[in-house]
Structure 1
Amino acid sequence: MAVTNFIPTIWSARLLENLQKRLVYTNITNNDYEGDVKFGNAVKINAIGRVNIFDYAKYTALPDPQVLDSTQQTLLIDQAKAFNFAVDDIDKAQANVNLMDAAMRQAAQDIKDVIDKFIASHYTYAANAIGDDTTPIVPTATTAYELLVDASTKLDEMDIPSDGRVAIVPPWFHGLLRKDDRFVKYTSEGQQVLRTGLVGEAAGFQIFISNNVPNTTGTKYKILCGHPMAITFAQQIEKIEAYRPEKLFADAVKGLVVYGAKVIRPEALVVITANKA
C-alpha cells in the first residue's frame, strides 16, 4: 500500500465497522449523547424529575404550574487509546495476503477488547444485586435460568421496560443455560456468536456471551443484566494516519480512538455475583 493511495476516511470506517461487529458490552449501552465527541469533552445530561398528576374538575382553576426539578450528570470522554504499527516492505513483498488490512483488523480487535473491559467494569454502579463477594451464587443447570428470572423481577420492580433487556454471561454460564429447555437458542448461533456474541433468549433477556465478564481469578463472576438505558457510551475515531517511518523501509499506520461511558440509570442494572461450580 503506497502512502499516496491512503484514504483516511475509508480506513476510519473500516476500523469502526470492525469495532461495532465485535463489541459485546455495547449491547447494554446507548449512544444517545455521542454526537461530535473529542477527548476531554464533557457531555452534560439533564434528567427531569416526576411530573405531578392531579384530579381535574370542570370550572375549577388549575393550580400554579409545577416547577420541574432536574438533575445533571456528566459523561466524560476521558479514555484515549492509540496504535502505531509498521509493515516492512520485504514482508509485504513476500506475503500473499494484504498484511496492512490484516493488521488493521487486528488493531480493531485489540481496541475492542480494551473498550469491552472498560464498559464491563461499570457493573459496580448497578443498583440491584444478586449475591455478593462474600456469598456468591453457585448456579447449576437447573438454577441458572432462575437467577435470570430473579434479575428480571428486580428490573420489573424498578419499572424498567421489558423490551430490549440484555444479559452478558461467561461461556460456562451459557453452557448451563443450554441444558435448560426454557432457554431459547438461536438457530444461527454459530454466526451470531462470531459477529456479536448473541446466543439466545432467557427470562426476557437477550443473552450475550463474553470472556470479558469481570471475575476474580476464575470466581465471583459479575454477570451484568439490564436495559441499554442504563449506560450511555460514546466513542470517536479521532485520527487515522499513514506514513513512511524515517528510519525504516516500511508503511506504517497510527490511530487514536477516544471514548467514555457513564451509568445514568443504575436502577436499570442488576449484577449477579456467581462462582463456577
Structure 2
Amino acid sequence: MGVTKFIPTIWSARLNESLKKSLVFGNVVNTDYEGEIKGQGSTVNINTIGAITIGKYDKQNGVGTPEELDASQMKLEITEQDFFNFVVHDVDQAQANVNLLDGAMKEAAYGMADVMDQYIASLYTEVKAGNTIGNDTTPIVPTKDNAYDYLVDLGVMLSENNVPKQDRFVVVPEFFYGLLQKDPRFTKDSSVLATGYIGDVNGMRVYTSNNLPNDNSTKYKVIAGHRMAISFAQQVDQIEAYRPEKGFGDAVKGLQVYGAKVIKPEALAVMTVNKN
C-alpha cells in the first residue's frame, strides 16, 4: 500500500508529537497566543494590560470614578517557514527491516525541532538591560565551586524584577552542567544522577542544550527566565504524501510556520560564559 493511502492528518499528528519531545526551548516558552495560524506572514495580536491602581477605601468617598485601563498591543508575527521533502523508493521499502517512512518522519521532526530551538534561543538579545552577567568582552569563566552560585545570581535578578517563582527555567551548555555535577549542593539528591533528571537551582528548572548561542564554542549564553517571557506560535501548516512522477517510491513533504516574540524582557536573565 502506497503512502498516499495514509490520511495527512495522521502524519501531521505524528510529526507534532515528535516535535514536542525534541524541543528544549519549546518547553520553556508559552503558547498562550498561538491562535489560528494560516501561513507565513500571519500575525497574532497580544494585548497587555497595564498596572491597576490599588487605593484605600473609605466609606465617605467610596471608590470614585472607575479607572481607565492602560492597554497596549504587541504583534507576534509568524515569519519563519521550514519544509522537508523526502522519498522512500519502493525497492528500499521492500528490502528494509525497519519502517523507513516512520523513521524518516522522526528524523524530519527532529530536524525541524532543532531549527526552531535555535530560533527561540536567538531571542536572548532582547533581555532587559541590566539583567546580564558577563558579556562578550569579559565572559565569566565558571568553575565547579561557583557555577551553582552564578545560577543563584540569575535567579536573584528575576526576583528583583518581581518575576513569579513558579515556572522558572535556566538552560546551560553541557560543560556547565558538568561543573554542576561536581557540586554537592546540586547532586545531594542521589536520584538526580541515577535517573538523568537535571534538577533545580534556586527554584529554576535546569535544562541543557547544544543550541545555546555561542561563538565557536566560546561566549556561551546561559539563558534563565520564566515561561511568560517569550511567546511562541507554530503549527505544521501543510503535510502531503504523494508518489513522485519520476521514479517509483513514496514521498512525504511538510511545511511548518512559526514565530516568537519576547513580550516580557524583564523576565529573562542572561550570563555569558567561557569554558575553563
TM range (shorter): over 0.9
Task: Indicate conservation of the 8 Å contact 1:138/1:276, yes or no.
Answer: yes
Secondary structure of 2:86's counterpart equals strand
Match of 1:112 in 2: 113
Aligned residue in 1 for 2:168: 165
Distance in 1 between the 2:10 and 2:184 partners? Answer: 45
- Kindly report the root-mean-square deviation, in angstroms, between the aligned alpha carbons of the 2 structures: 1.5
Indicate the residue corresponding to 1:29 in structure 2: 29
Q: 1:15 to 1:191 in 2, by over 3 A?
A: farther
| Normalised TM-score (structure 2) | 0.95
Task: Give the direction of change, closer, same or farther, for the CA distance of 1:125–1:201 in structure 2 (3 Å limit).
Answer: same
Number of corresponding residues: 272
One-letter identity of the residue aligned with 2:38: K
Q: Which runs of 5+ in 1 are unaligned?
A: 193-197
1:221 and 2:217 correspond: no
Greater CA deviation, 64-73 or 170-179? Answer: 64-73
Query: What's the secondary structure of 2:198's corresponding residue?
Result: strand
Equivalents in 2 of 1:220, 1:57: separation in Å?
A: 57
Please, which of 148, 151, 155 is the counterpart of residue 152 of structure 1? 155
Cα distance in 2 between the residues matched to 1:227 and 1:115:
19
The question of whether the paired residues in 2 share the 8 Å contact of 1:38 and 1:77 is answered with no
SS in 2 for 1:123: helix
Shift of residue 35, structure 1, vs aligned partner: 2.1
Deviations 1:106-148 (Å, cap 9, x if unpaired)? 0001111100000000110111111111111000001100111
The structural deviation recorded for 1:56 is 1.4
1: distance between equivalents of 2:28 and 2:216? 24
Give the counterpart letter for 1:199 in structure 2.
Answer: I
Residue 101 of structure 2 aligns with an amino acid whose one-letter code is M
Distance 2:109 2:250 in 1: 18
The answer to whether the 8 Å contact 1:44/1:72 transfers is: yes
Matched, 1:71 2:72: yes
CA distance in 1, matches of 2:195, 2:31: 25
Identify if the C-alpha distance between structure 1 residues 230 and 80 changes in structure 2 by more than 3 Å, giving closer, same or farther.
Answer: same
1:274 aligned partner: 273
After superposition, the C-alpha distances for 1:143-192 in whole angstroms (9 at most, x for unaligned) are 10011110010011000011111011111000000111111568376776
Alignment check: 8 A CA contact 1:38 1:236 kept = no
Q: Which residue of 1 aligns with 2:180?
A: 177
> What's the CA shift string for 1:63-83, capped at 9, x where partnerless?
322112111111011110001
Moved more, 140-149 or 181-190: 181-190
- The answer to whether the Cα contact below 8 Å between 1:141 and 1:179 also exists between their aligned partners in 2 is yes
Q: CA deviation at 1:98?
A: 0.6
What displacement does 1:97 show?
0.7
Counterpart residue identity of residue 264, structure 2: R
Distance in 1 (CA, whole Å) between partners of 2:4 and 2:124 is 45
Quick check: 176-185 or 150-159, which moved more? 176-185
Q: Which residue identity is paired with 1:116?
A: D
**2:227 counterpart letter in structure 1:** P
Match of 1:99 in 2: 100
For 2:112 and 2:198, locate their aligned partners in 1 and report how far apart those are by CA, in whole Å.
23
1:187 equivalent to 2:191? Answer yes
Correspondence for 2:16: 16
- SS of the residue aligned with 1:117? helix
Q: 1:268 to 1:186 in 2, by over 3 A?
A: farther
1:141 pairs, out of 139, 144, 158, with 144
8 Å CA contact retained: 2:4, 2:250: no
Q: Which residue of 2 aligns with 1:202?
A: 201
Aligned-partner Cα distance in 2 for 1:266–1:145: 23
In structure 1, the residue corresponding to 2:54 is in which secondary structure?
A: coil
Work out the percentage of aligned pairs sharing the same amino acid.
54
